[in-house]
Structure 1
Amino acid sequence: MIRFISSLSQTKRTLLLSLIGLVIAVGISFLTVASIVGPVLLVVAAFFVIYILLLARNPSLGLSALIVYCFTMGLFSRETSSAIPFGIGIEVFLLLAWIIVIIMHNEFDWKNINNPLTKVMLVWFIISCVELINPAGASVRGWLQEVRSTALFPILAIPLVFLLYNSESKLNLFIILIISLSFLAALNGIKQQHIGLSPGEQRFLDEGGSITHMLWGKLRVFSFYSDAGQFGASQAAFILTAVMLALGPFKTWIRIAMLILSVFFVYGMLISGTRGALFALVVGAFIAITLTKNIKVLALGIVGAAMCLFVLKYTSIGSGNYAIHRMRTALDPKEASLNVRLQNQQILAEYLKTRPFGGGLGVIGAWGKEYNKDKFLSTVEPDSYWVKLWAMYGIVGFTFWFCMMMYLLGKCCGIIWKIRNAKLRYKAIALLSSTAGLFFCSYGNEVMNAMPSAIVVWISLAFIFMCPKFDEKHEPKFLNV
C-alpha cells in the first residue's frame, strides 16, 4: 500500500491521504461517544480504509461493490439493528467512487458521458429538484428521502458506468455478478420456503410484514429483498436474462448453466406469489424474441406465451398448487386487490385534475405516511410505481417520465438491432428484456425505485448505450470465449 501511495502524484497523494485522515478522524470521534460499539466501529473503519486504498488502485471496484451491496443490504438490515440506515450506504459507495474519479480525473475519458442517456437523466433530475418548490407544499424531508431513489441514484450511477465500466469485459463481469447474486437470492428464498426463516426474517414478519407476506397461511417468499413483490419481479427479470444467454451462441457449458439457473429463477418467482411478475415475463419475452431477428423463434415464442396464458386464464390446471393459483389470479379482472387499486386510481384522478404538477415528492407511500401525514395523498396507497410518480409529479411530470422511458427502451432496441457481433447482441438483449420487464412490472408494484432492481435497470441501460463501441472491439473474454 505504501508503494502504491508513493507512486501517486503529489496532488493525488495529498488528496487521498486527506480523505483517509478524514475518515479516521470521524471514526475516532464516534468512538469517543460510542464506547459499547467501539470495537465494532474500529473493525469497520479498518476495512473502510482498506477499501479506499483498493478503490484508488481500481476505481471500477466501486461499482462492483455497489452492486453487491444493493443486492444484500436487505439481509444486513434484517439481521442487524433496524436503527442503522443501511440505505445511506448506497450514497457512500457512490460518493467514494466519485471522489476517486475526480481525484484521478486525467485517467478517464469524460467524453463518454456525453450521450442521450446521461442527458435525459440529468433533465429528469432537474425536474425532480424543481418539485421541491411544488405549490402543494409537501415536506422537504419527504422530498429529500424520495428524490434519492427516484432521481439522485440514477444521475450518480449512470455516468460512473460510462467512466469505469467502459469495456466488454466489465459488461461480462456485471452479468456474472447480477446472475450470481440473484441465484444466491433464489437459494435463500428456497431456504425460507422449505427450511425456515432466520431470526431477522421472522422478526420482519412479526413486526407487520405478515400482513402482506402471509396469505391463507402461506408464506410469500421475499429472500434478501425488501418485500416479496421486489423479489418476484427480480426473479422474473433474471429468468429472461438466463434464457436469452442460454439461447445465445456461447459455449455449451454456459448455455446449460443458464438453463439450470433459469429453473431456479422460475421457482423463486413462483414462491414469491408476485402476480405482476407474469407481465414482466410476457413483455420482456416479446421484446427479446423480436430482437433475436429469428422468425422461427419469434413464432414459437408467441405460440408458447399464448398457450401459457390460455392455460392460466381458461383452465384450472395446477390450481391445487398455491403458487400457480396465485399467479392465475393476475388474469382475473374481478380479483379484489385489482379492483381496490383501480378505485384508488379513480380517487387520485379526481384529486389530481386540478394539480397538473402533482403533490410533490415524498407525499405518497411510505415517506408520505412519515413526513406528510397532513396531506390527502398520504392516505392513498399507490400500489404501483407508475401511479406513485403520477401522484408526486402530476400528469406533466409523469408524461415526461413515461416518454423518457419509452424513448430509452426504443433507443436501446435500435442499438441492439444494429449490433453485428452475435454474442454481444444476445448479452444486450438479455439486459434489455429484463429491464423492460422490470419497467412494465412497476405498474403493479414499486419495483424500479427499489434495490436491487433499480441498479440493474440503470447500469443495464448504460451498457446497452456503450454496445456500439464494444461491437467494434470484440474483446474475447469471459462469455465471449
Structure 2
Amino acid sequence: MENDVLYTSNRNKLKSIWLLPFTLIAVILGWAIANIGITIGMMVIVLPFVIAFVIVLFYKPRFGIYFFLVYCFLMPTLGKHIVGIQFGLGMDAILVLIVLSLLFNTTNRYRIRHLNNDLFWIAFVWFVITVLQIGNPERPSFEGWFYEMRSTTLYWILTVSTGYLLLNKKKDVNIFLNIIIILSLLGALYGVKQNILGPDAAEMRWLEAGAKVTHILFGKLRIFSYYPEAAQFGASQAQLSIMCFILAVGPYNKAKKLWYLIAAVIIFYGMLLSGTRGAMAALVGGGFTFLVLSKQIKMLILGSVIGLGFLGMLKYTTIGNGNAQIVRFRTSLDPEDASLQARLRNQKKLREFIKNKPFGAGVGTMGNWGTKYNADKFISTIPPDSMYVKIWGMYGIVGFIIWFGSMMYITGKCSGIIWKTRDPVLKNQLTSICAGATGILLCSYGNEVMNAMPSSAVIYFSWVIIWLSPRWDTPLPAGNSK
C-alpha cells in the first residue's frame, strides 16, 4: 500500500490541505500585529488558555474563586507591563463567569437559598443604594458612576455571594490563608528587589506618567511592588503581617509556627519599604482585635502596654531616625504634619459643599473617576484621601451612616462568631482573618484601601469565611445542650 503512487499522492495532498488555513492565519496575525499592535497577537495567544479556563471553571466553580484571588494580586502589575489591555475588567469577567458557572452547574450543590443571610443582604442593600444614586439630583456622569460602582459595590456583592456558595469546606480556610500569605510574601520579596535594583522599564514608565509625584518623596522611592501603588502595598503588607504574627502564636507544630513567623517578619519589612503611614492603623487595629478576642486579660494588658510603648517611642523619641521609613511612620503621629493639615482643609471644603446634600454629589464624582468623568463639578477637585471621606462625599451623610453602620455590624458579628468558636486551630485562624480585616477597615480612614485590589477581595472573602465558620466548629461535648 505504501508503494501505491495514488495512495502516497493523496496522503501528501491531504497533508498539504492544512497548509492553506495555517498560512492564512499566520498572514492575518502578522497583519494585525503590524497594524494594530502586539496586543492583538497576545490576545490570540492567550485565547486557548481562556477557553481552557472557562471549561475548567464550569466543571469546578471553586477553582474560579482561587483564580480570582490570585488575579487580584497580579492584575496591577500586568496593567503596568502590558499597555493597551484593560486588565481591571478581567476581574469583572472572572466574577461573571463564576456566577454563570453556578447557574449552569448540573450538580445542584449550589443553591440560591443559601444566600439568605445578613451578610449578603447588607451587600445587596448597598448595591441598591448605589444603583439609586444614578438619579442623584447633582446629575453625575453615568460613565463615572459605572466605573466607580465596580469597586464600591459590584465586587462586594459578587465576591460575597459567590464566596458564600463556594467556600463551603473547612479546607478552604487553609487554602485561602496559604494563597494570600504566599502572594504577600512574594510581594514583599519583589519589593526588596525593587528597593535594591530599582523599578524596571515598565514601572519607570508608570512613575513618569504621574505616579512619581506621590511615590518619590525627598529623593526616596516608596516601594509599590506588584501592587497598584505604595499605599495599597503598605496596607496589604501590614494586614498580612499582623495575620501571620497571630498565626505564629497559634496551636501548631514548631515548623508551622516558624513558617508563619518568618513570613510575618519579611512581610513587615515590605510594609516598611512602602513608606505608607496609614499602615500603622492595620497594625494597631489588628493587634488590638487579637488581644480582645484572645480572652486573656493578662495578654490584653501586656499587649496594650507594648503597643502604647511602641507608639510612645515613635512620638516622643528620635530612635530610628536614621531610617527613612521609620521617620515617615513617625510623622503619622504629628498633628501638625503638612499632609494631615491638607487633608483637614479638604474635608472642610467638602463639608461646606455637601452640607445641603444629604445624599451626596453622586457615585463617581470624587477621586480618579471624578476627575476623568465629572471634571465640570467642584467636588471632583477635592482629593478624598480616604475611603470614609469618599463615601461621605459621594453618598452624603445618609449614605455614610448606612455604610459605616454596616461596617460596624459586620465587624461586631465577626467578633461574636469568633468569641464563641471552640476549635482552637479554627479560632486562631479566624482571629487572624478578623484582625486583618479590621486593620484594613481602619487603614481606609487614611487612604482608599478597602476599595482597591487585592485588599478589597481579601476583606470580602474574610467576612464570608468567618460567617461560614460555625458549621466547621468542634461539636459540643455530649450532654451539653448549650
Q: Same fold (TM over 0.5)?
A: yes
Matches within 5 A, 1:79-478: 79-81=81-83, 83-104=84-105, 106-472=108-474
Greater alpha carbon shift after TM alignment, 51-60 vs 271-280 = 51-60
- Alpha-carbon contact 2:59-2:105 (below 8 Å) kept: no
Q: Which amino acid aligns with 2:407?
A: M
Deviations 1:435-480 (A, max 9, x none): 0000010010000000000000100000000011111479xxxxxx
User: 1: CA distance between counterparts of 2:63 and 2:105?
Assistant: 14
Per-residue deviation, 1:264: 0.8
User: 2: CA distance between counterparts of 1:32 and 1:419?
Assistant: 61
- Alpha-carbon contact 2:364-2:394 (below 8 Å) kept: yes
- Alpha-carbon contact 2:387-2:448 (below 8 Å) kept: yes
- Alpha-carbon contact 2:32-2:41 (below 8 Å) kept: no
Deviations 1:397-456 (A, max 9, x none): 011000000000000000000000010011001111010000010010000000000000
User: 1: CA distance between counterparts of 2:328 and 2:259?
Assistant: 29
- Alpha-carbon contact 1:31-1:41 (below 8 Å) kept: no
User: 2: CA distance between counterparts of 1:178 and 1:186?
Assistant: 12
Structure 1 segments unaligned to the other structure (5+ residues): 1-26, 475-481
Task: Name the residue aligned to 1:44.
Answer: 46
* SS of residue matched to 1:284: helix
The match for 1:75 among 57, 74, 77 is 77
Task: Name the residue aligned to 2:480.
Answer: none
User: 1: CA distance between counterparts of 2:144 and 2:32?
Assistant: 29
User: 1: CA distance between counterparts of 2:127 and 2:455?
Assistant: 19
Q: Which amino acid aligns with 1:228?
A: A
* SS of residue matched to 1:331: coil
Q: Number of paired residues? A: 446
Q: Which structure is larger by alpha-carbon Rg, 1 or 2?
A: 2
Residue 57 (1) aligns with residue 65 (2): no
Q: Which amino acid aligns with 1:305?
A: G
Greater alpha carbon shift after TM alignment, 194-203 vs 343-352 = 194-203
User: 2: CA distance between counterparts of 1:272 and 1:41?
Assistant: 33
Per-residue deviation, 1:41: 2.3
Per-residue deviation, 1:35: 5.1
User: 2: CA distance between counterparts of 1:334 and 1:129?
Assistant: 40
- Alpha-carbon contact 1:213-1:221 (below 8 Å) kept: yes
Q: Which amino acid aligns with 1:463?
A: I
User: 1: CA distance between counterparts of 2:400 and 2:31?
Assistant: 46
Q: Which amino acid aligns with 2:447?
A: N
User: 1: CA distance between counterparts of 2:290 and 2:335?
Assistant: 27
Per-residue deviation, 1:32: 11
User: 2: CA distance between counterparts of 1:367 and 1:169?
Assistant: 39
- Alpha-carbon contact 1:183-1:261 (below 8 Å) kept: yes
In the superposition, the TM-score normalised over structure 1's length comes to 0.90
User: 1: CA distance between counterparts of 2:363 and 2:59?
Assistant: 38
